[in-house]
Structures are given as C-alpha cells and as structure tokens.
Structure 1
Amino acid sequence: MSRRTANRTRVIRALRERGPLSRRELAGIGLSRSTVTAVVDELVGAGLVTEAGGPARGAGRPAQLISLSPALGVAVGVEIANGVVRAAVCDLSRRLLAHDAVAVDERTGPEETLVVVAELVDRLLGGRSRDDVLGVGIAIPGPIQRGTGRNGRATTLKPWVDVNPYVTAAEALKLPIAVDNDANLAAVAEATWGAARGLRDVAYVYSAAGIGVGFILNGSLYAGANGTAGELGHTTIDENGEICECGGRGCLNTLANAASISLNLRRSHGRELSIAEVITLARGGDLGCRRVIADAGRHIGLAAANLYNLLDPELIVLGGNLAPAGEILLGPLRESMARRAIHAGEVLPPFIVGELDQDVVVVLGAAAVVLRDDERFPLPDR
C-alpha cells in the first residue's frame, strides 16, 4: 500500500470511528496539516467526504467539519426486544434519517419476527435501494455465545434461546449483518453520540426485561471470552432470595427489574402497573412507588459497587426503562454504591442517566457498529 493510499485510509477510518472532524482534529491522528489538506481535498474531489460548518468549539468562528459523504450509503440499526421491534437508518455523516417501532408478540418465532424487521427496514429506507445499505446491526436481549453464535438461556426472548441470530438474520434480510447484546450496543451508542463520547472505560447499565451492562474497556467493546460479560441482572444480591429464571437465588433481576418492581406493588395498588406507570406515580408523590424504586436503586447500587471494584470505569451510565426514574432511583443507588465501593483515595465515577433518547439508544448503537467497522462493512467502491 502506497503512503498516499495509507493516508486516505487513515482519514476515512478516523471519520468512521469518530464522526465529523475538523482538519485540526484529523492532524491529531498523526498526519501533518499539509498532508491532511492534500488528503481531504482529494477525498472531496472524489465525492467521498464533504466539508461543512459545524458547531462552534470555543471562541472564534465555527470549525469546518469533514464527514463521510451521505451519498455513500446508510447504516441500519435494529433492536429485537420483548414485545417490540425498533429500527433506525443513519447516513455516514451520523445523521439519524428515520426511526420507528412495531409492536410484536414476544412469543413470535425468529423467522416471523424477521419478516416484520424486513418490512420495517424497507419502509424506513424511504425509497432507497437495499444496495445503499452498508450493513445492519441487530441487538438481541441476553448473551450471545462466542463459540457457537447462539443465544444463551439467559435471553429474555424465549423463542430465540439456542438460535443463531446472525445466521437467521442474514438469511432473512440478505444484507451484511452484525449481531450483539442490547446493552453492549447501547454502550456503543453513548460512546459514539452521547455521555461517554471520548472516554475509554465506561459501563452502561441497561434495564429492560432484565438488567445488563455493556462495557467499553480501553476504548473497545468487551463481551468476555464466552460473550456473557455484563449479565449484571444475574449477580447474586440475596443468596436466600427468590429463585431466578436462570436457576440462581436472589439475582438482581428478582429484586430490581421492571417486573419485580411492579409485582411488589400489586397488593397495595390493586393491579400490576407498568414500569412507566410506576415511575409516573412516583414522580407525582406516590409513597409506595417511590419506595420500590428506591429499593431497586439500592440493590443496583450494591451490584454497581462490585462492578466498580472489579473494573474501575470512568463513568457509569443508566439507560432503559428505569432511566426515567432519575434521582428517585439514582440517589439511593449512589448511596448504596458509596457504602460498598473501594474508593482507594479517589472519588467514585459519576453514575448518570444517558444523554440519548431511550427509544433509539439501542438502535443507534446497532447502526454505530456498522458506521465504525471498515473491515466488515467497507465503503462502496466508487
């Protein structure tokens, strides 16, 4: 590879991994300013990148930002969750072009669900050809086994247990595919667009049917040797507690996920409330709802203290269906975490609600996997 080609590759890779950058920021990848100017001018002339004014960064005029040309194609993100399928389409300059969701019966099998996914993706493409799609990132709840590529038994979508989602989705969609756990992809989204941008060690606690964690460690997504890293919901909080669906006792999921929170209120409130209703009532001053959310926060804080003691992240982000509870949950959570974490003379990392909309955070992360990966999802040869 010639030096000229190598420099072009470095610039394109930086734009894929980090999004729109100024010429000065591109010089930070180890190229001289004159080389950046020559490479960018060549790429603009070839129609591979565009240059436009960006937001002001400090005093002075807004920087001109270089980004990959939207004409090169799009990336698609899909989330297959309990009771809903979500999808989003982003262009290569990282603009969200369209997103939507479709309700599905969580008992529906993978093949039938993927028919819904294909129809949703085609609708969101809005007349674009599938040839314009670089790839599709797909998020699935629960761990995906590294050795076999199959969903493990901790997957909350039971029809998908022991299914290889990569093979099944590739056959159904006829497009390049990447598949990962929903919490992992939510972590990628916050690292790409949100609160964790620019950080190298981050934990993203994602609450849905269960509670999982996506880890960005040393700047890369970490899933573990077998793909089961981050199953925070199956850490033991009470070894004499209720039996979890995984077979263990007193897992965090039995104490702090949405279903357990709602179950604790059935007797006092006369029916099973959705987690959204619980949070709304708690914000309105309902003491029972505030209590069960605070209790859940304390349990998550215990688990988070263990997480911190083991991995020492810079930031911990909360996302998913518990995130709207805000400080009602986070206050007791931080207090519980602080009592158990090893401070080692340093302050604990911030534990905050993510910046991204909870309706799109996972699908954005799924699309970001495509945007960032130049090996599995190369740009069209133009």
Structure 2
Amino acid sequence: MGTSSSLERLRDTNRRSITTLLAAEGPMSRADLVRGTGLSRTTVSSLVGDLITSGHVVETADRGRPHKGGSGRPPLLVALSTPGGGVAGVDIGHRHVRVAVADRVGAVLAEEAADLDVDEDGAAALDRAARMVRHALRGAGLGVGDLHAVGMCVPAPLDRRSASIRTGILPGWRELSPADELHRRLGIPVFADNDANLGALAELGQGAARGATDLVYVKVASGLGAGIVLGGRLHRGASGIAGELGHVQVDEAGQVCRCGNRGCLETLVSAPRLLALLRPAYDEPLSVERILALDGAGDAGVRRVLSDAGRAIGRALADLCNNLNPEVVVVGGSLGGSTSLTDGVRAAVDRYAQPETAAALRVVPGALGDRAELVGAVSLAIARVSV
C-alpha cells in the first residue's frame, strides 16, 4: 500500500513538471518535454497519455521542427487545454501586495498592486489581498466562481509540516497558515510558497534560467533569500526552509537580525541597509529606483556599495555552489537589476568557489525583475489545477 501511494505521488509530481513546462513554454513535442523535464522518454509518453485522457492536455494539429534541424518528419506537439475560467497569483512582499488574474495558460487578464506594510498584521494583509483578487476578477470579466486556484507567495519560509509561518521574520504572521487563511476568505483552493522559491520557478520557466535544471535564484530586496532548483524541481528541505541565505551568520558581534539571530548576511546587504549607507553622501532622497539609476550612470559611490554587497552575497553563495554545483545563479529582486551587484557576486564566486564549480556556473541578472514572484505564483496555481 505504501509503495503504491509513493509511486502515485511521484507520478503526480512528474505530471506537474510537464504541465508547468507547457504553461511556461507553450506547445512542445514529447522529445522537448523529455529534455525540459529530465524524465525518461517512456515516462513522458505515459504521462502525456494520462493528461490527454483526462483532458488537461491536447495534441495540436501543428507540428514542430525536428530536433537540431534533423530531416525526419516534424513531431506532433502537445499543449495545455484551454478550459474556461482562470487562476490568480498573489505576491505578498514586506511592503506590497500584488495580484494578477490569468487564464488557464498564464495570459494575464487583469493586475493590480498596493503599497502596504504587511509584516505586523497578517490578517489585515490577507483581507486586502482577498479584496484585490475580487476586484481583479471583475476587471477580467470573471467571477469568484470562475476562479479555479490561487497561487500565493509570502516573504518568509513556510513550515512544510504545518503550512504555517513559524519564524520571527513576519511577526504579525506567526503560526498563521497563509493558504488556509486566504482560502477561508475566498472559498477557492490556495497554494502558498515563499517568494524566493516562486521567483526561482518563474525564472526557470519564463526567465533567465530557461533550459537549466540546477539553479539558485537569489532575491535581493528588503530581505535576502534563495530558491534552489535541483534536477528541475524545487528543493525545499525537510521542513521547508532550504535557501535561507540571508540568515547565514557572517559576524558573531553584528546587528540583531529580524529573525532573532545576530550578524546575519541580510543585515549587511538588504535594500534598507544599503540605502542607509548611501544617504549621508547624497543631498537628495534615495530610493531603490534612484540608486539603480545612479549605478547605471556610473556613480562611483553607489557602484562601490553595491559591488561590496554583491561580493558579500557571492562569498556565502560560493560555499552553497561548492555543495550543489548549479548551472546558473540568477540575481533577482528589486536590486537584481544592478550590474555592480551582479558583477560583485560573480567576482566572489570566482574567488571563493572551487575552480571547476565556478567555471561551470553562469551568474546572470533576472529577466523578470520584481514581477518574478507574481509570475511564479500564477504558474503555481496553473500547475496545481492542471493535474
């Protein structure tokens, strides 16, 4: 009985891998699905057959090109079916709530955002998110009854056993189960994950890491976190807190971090910390957008601070890369567009990682910017409703 249920869970996971890839890439041949998921040809053929039978996937009349320009007959493509209704993605950050309503293949129909300090009052933030989902549905010409699933990201690790937030990073959310709470407000199935994990999924499916199977996504914003993908699948760890790069201790006598520990990397490189370092040297209000503009214009002070931050992040990443040997590190979040920061990460990885590890690794800025987490939340909803 146990073996049978384990095999079925594995098939469910593999089906989600296929539907997630089809949602991101559009119609694909079975051979492309083999390459994109890392599954065997036999497994892909069997799972695609299941998905066609269940109506989740259809075989298209269009044909693709033979792989690598071969001269054989072009293969038939398969695609997600396009049933009615839609899904929603909810991106909750420390200072914002963003919502998107999309169709079942990921095309965004309506979107809205609000600035909000969510850390101290989880219930109020979830109330606001539920109102925004309903409003976006009206903008998309849909009702709550047309909504099949909601994907949500939160800026804190979720305990895999209880689906709740158990750390002090979000003090007003302690012991809350975000998915259960939003489900109670909307009456729709809600699936939650942390922001770095969903950013990793988005960049893997639609962004800078397309085609990779092993990657680390680093979100540098009001906090610092990492999403890890191994073998094309998210690695969450035993209790769901894998990737907490920002809480690597780098100074035993350093500042107290919001997690409760002292001297965490996040206390040195988060956006608020970098803004505080730069403000005394500038006679103008500084924001993340402004320091990115100054970085792009070649401002020496901004470039030095961002480069130093990148090197500090890269030093911690080098140890992680030595253990995981990823193909790519994607630098995302509100500061992910900084060339100086990304170059600093690259320099430190080159300096501190094993030479072969560093040589096999690309360090690139994210392609989706601060939309990565919202795109990932939509993709999560699609993947959950498509199996």
Q: Give the structure-2-normalised TM-score.
A: 0.82
Q: Is the 8 A contact 2:31 2:41 kept in 1?
A: no
Q: Call closer, same or farther: CA 1:39–1:10 in 2, change over 3 Å.
A: farther
| Mapping of residues 47-58 of structure 1, within 5 Å | 49=58, 51=60
TM-superposed deviation, 1:368? 1.2
Of 18, 21, 31, which aligns to 1:18?
A: 21
Seen in structure 2, the aligned counterparts of structure 1 residues 21 and 307 have a Cα distance that, compared at 3 Å, is same
| SS of structure 1 residue aligned to 2:337 | helix
- Find the counterpart in structure 2 of residue 208 from structure 1: 221
- Deviation string, structure 1 residues 184-224 (Cα, Å, up to 9, x no partner): 11111112222223322111001222100001112221111
Instruction: Pick the aligned partner of 1:166 from 179, 183, 194.
Output: 179
Is 1:97 equivalent to 2:109 in the alignment? yes
Report the secondary structure of 1:359's partner residue.
helix
Aligned to 1:113: 125
User: What secondary structure is seen at the aligned counterpart in 2 of 1:265?
Assistant: helix
Residue 261 of structure 2: aligned partner: 248
Distance 2:317 2:209 in 1: 17
The equivalent of 1:145 in structure 2 is 159
- 2:193 aligned counterpart, secondary structure: strand
Distance change (3 Å), C-alpha of 1:99 and 1:63: farther
Instruction: Show structure 2 runs of 5+ residues with no match.
Output: 1-11, 35-39
1:60-106 Cα offsets, whole Å, 9 max, x none, are 99987432232343221111112211112232333333332122233
Q: Partner residue of 2:333?
A: 320
**2:355 alignment partner, SS class:** coil
Instruction: Give 1:174 deviation, angstroms.
Output: 1.0
Measured against aligned partners, the alpha-carbon deviations of 1:270-312 in whole angstroms (never above 9, x if no partner) come to 5662222112122223221111111101111101101101211
For 1:152, the aligned partner's letter is R
Partner of 1:179: 192
Which of the residues 362, 367, 381 maps onto 2:378?
Answer: 367
Residue identity over aligned pairs, in percent, reads: 33
Cα shift at 1:17: 2.9
User: What is the DSSP-based 3-state SS (H/G/I as helix, E as strand, rest coil) of the residue aligned with 2:320?
Assistant: helix
How do 1:1-382 residues align onto structure 2 when only pairs under 5 Å count?
Answer: 16-19=19-22, 20-25=26-31, 30=41, 49=58, 51=60, 65-106=77-118, 109-125=121-137, 126-155=140-169, 157-270=170-283, 273-326=286-339, 328-344=340-356, 347-355=359-367, 357-373=368-384, 377=385
Q: Structure 1's 99 and 257: CA in aligned 2 closer, same or farther, altered over 3 A?
A: same
* Partner residue, 2:37: none
Q: Distance in 2 between matches of 1:39 and 1:107?
A: 43
C-alpha offsets along residues 325-353 of structure 1, whole Å, 9 cap, x if unaligned? Answer: 12x11222211111111124771410101
| C-alpha separation in 2, matches of 1:72 and 1:35 | 26
Q: Aligned in 2, Cα 1:48/1:216: closer, same or farther, shift over 3 Å? A: closer
Q: Report if the CA contact (8 A) 1:77-1:137 is conserved.
A: yes
Asked if 2 retains the 8 angstrom alpha-carbon contact of 1:211 and 1:253, the reply is: yes
User: Residues 64 and 122 from structure 1, CA distance in 2 versus in 1: closer, same or farther, beyond 3 angstroms?
Assistant: farther
CA distance in 2, matches of 1:270, 1:167: 47
Q: Which moved more, 1:240-249 or 1:26-35?
A: 26-35
Whole-angstrom CA distance in 1 between matches of 2:373 and 2:48: 36
Contact 1:243 1:249 in 2 (8 A): yes
Q: Retained in 2: the 8 A contact 1:239–1:250? A: yes
Deviations 1:239-273 (A, max 9, x none): 33333233333321111110110111122225662
2:275–2:287 CA contact under 8 A, matched in 1: yes
Q: 1:13 to 1:279 in 2, by over 3 A?
A: closer
> What is the aligned residue count?
363
Structure with more of its chain in helix, by fraction: 2
